[in-house]
Amino acid sequence: AQTVTQSQPEMSVQEAETVTLSCTYDTSESDYYLFWYKQPPSRQMILVIRQEAYKQQNATENRFSVNFQKAAKSFSLKISDSQLGDAAMYFCARNYGGSQGNLIFGKGTKLSVKP
Amino acid sequence: NAGVMQNPRHLVRRRGQEARLRCSPMKGHSHVYWYRQLPEEGLKFMVYLQKENIIDESGMPKERFSAEFPKEGPSILRIQQVVRGDSAAYFCASSPRTGWDEQYFGPGTRLTVT
């Protein structure tokens, strides 16, 4: 089955602290992309970071970085120096693969940031 | 470069009516994806279209739902004879080519069926 699992429905972090959101996935393919999307209360889906499975180096985007463990099929998101604006739903996703490209999403983790 | 546009942002329909959701992809993008988000859920893939072609509709309910992406104009997701269970947020995304590219999402249309 093609699934993406986020085991933490809700997380909380203190402003300026670091938080890690977990994600595991299932796939039989060797080549694929993984994504973290942020959905604030406006509901707009915003791409936070992407990882290409064939790249061993973990992707980073400013305060956001991933820990990609291909053998374990794990793709966690680390947010450093958390800010109030980071509060949102975070969705992990992978592309379906082949020539299709449609995304499979997890159920999301609601992140709260305490001042 | 304008982003992905969706309209209307909010749509209220009574049971049995038709709902038409529109999506204008980013300029230069010829690939469109539709997703549905139920409350407290992640997005679920519905259909993938290229200009004038449906490439993958494996996520679309067999009855009452249809989608098109004509040569000219926006992509349309059409829901006939809506039921309460159709109430959800519907998101459109576009990409310049298939497979590996980032998908750019629109703001979504929230459909409420009364």
As a three-state string, the secondary structure of chain B is CCCCEEECCEEEECCCCCEEEEEECCCCCCEEEEEEECCCCCEEEEEEEECCEEEECCCCCCCCEEEECCCCCCEEEEECCCCHHHCEEEEEEEECCCCCCCCEECCCEEEEEC
Contact list in A for residue B50 (CB cut-off 8 A) is: none
What pLDDT score was predicted for residue A19?
98
Shortest distance, CA A10 to any CA of chain B (angstroms): 12
Q: Answer whether A44 sits within 8 Å of B105, measured CB to CB.
A: yes
Which amino acid is present at A90? Y
When pLDDT is averaged across residues A102-108 and rounded to a whole number, the result is 92
- The tokens for A71 are 């053998």
- The tokens for A24 are 């595991």
What pLDDT score was predicted for residue A27?
86
What pLDDT score was predicted for residue B99?
58
CA distances, A85 to each of A66, A79, A88, B93 (Å)? 19, 12, 8, 24
Segment B18-70, tens digit of pLDDT: 999 999 999 988 899 999 999 888 899 999 999 889 999 999 999 999 999 99
What pLDDT score was predicted for residue A32?
86
What pLDDT score was predicted for residue B79?
98
Contact list in A for residue B107 (CB cut-off 8 A) is: 42-44
